[in-house]
Amino acid sequence: MGFGELLLLALGLSMDAFAVSICKGLAMKKADVKACCTCGVWFGGFQGLMPLIGFFLGTLFYRAIEAVDHWIAFGLLGIIGINLLKEAFSREEADCSDCNGDLSVKTMFVMAVATSIDALAVGISLAMVGNVNIFAAVALIGVFTFWMSAAGVKIGNIFGSRFEKKAQIAGGVILILLGLKILLEHLGVLA
């Protein structure tokens, strides 16, 4: 998996955290640098940690599922992408009513875990792909999510929830297309 594909993967994974960060910013009276960085560290840290855990879990079971690894990667990325699309289209307008400006450890931990569960599944998919430098991948995912989350807080604070739905749609489409690309490469359709 090349740098461009990893960058797209990082973008797709960061969209959920970006959408939640927009809600956080929307709920804040003033989104200062500390608030932006707090969200960035929590979301970026967990988005980087979860694929690493998933990758190591995937490598444990790789021998048992080697014959169907490309189907598993395709299925996991497809499911995650479809879920992002369903979330985006299930609301007529962005609904940040369950989100507040609270940046406490308890609140941020729960939100960081919730937004990074899909990254765990992506880590398993990366183990199935095989030719991935997992440390470079998790660093890129974590750093990219940090910046997207920090920016999301500020964007939400300034512009409101206008970009939340579009971010989830973009993330879903990117993950589905990456899963399809992995499948087509393993089937020999793409070189």
| pLDDT score of 68 more than 90 | no
Distance CA 182, CA 86 (A): 22
For the chain, the domain total comes to 1
The pair of three-digit structure tokens given for residue 149, joined into one six-digit string: 């989350």
Q: With respect to residue 164, please indicate whether it lies within any of the assigned structural domains.
A: yes
pLDDT of residue 151: 94
Distance CA 109, CA 111 (A): 6
Q: With respect to residue 19, please indicate whether it lies within any of the assigned structural domains.
A: yes
Q: With respect to residue 67, please indicate whether it lies within any of the assigned structural domains.
A: yes
pLDDT of residue 100: 66
Most confident of 27-31, 146-150, 170-174: 146-150
Average pLDDT, the chain: 83
Q: With respect to residue 33, please indicate whether it lies within any of the assigned structural domains.
A: yes
Q: How many CA atoms lie within 13 A of 80 on its CB side?
A: 33
Q: With respect to residue 171, please indicate whether it lies within any of the assigned structural domains.
A: yes
Determine the 3-state secondary structure of 135 from DSSP: helix
pLDDT of residue 45: 96
Q: Which range marks the domain in which residue 107 is found?
A: 3-186
**Which pLDDT tens digit goes with each residue over 10-57?**
988 888 888 888 888 887 888 899 999 999 999 999 999 999 999 999
**pTM for the full predicted model:** 0.75
Q: With respect to residue 191, please indicate whether it lies within any of the assigned structural domains.
A: no
Q: With respect to residue 143, please indicate whether it lies within any of the assigned structural domains.
A: yes
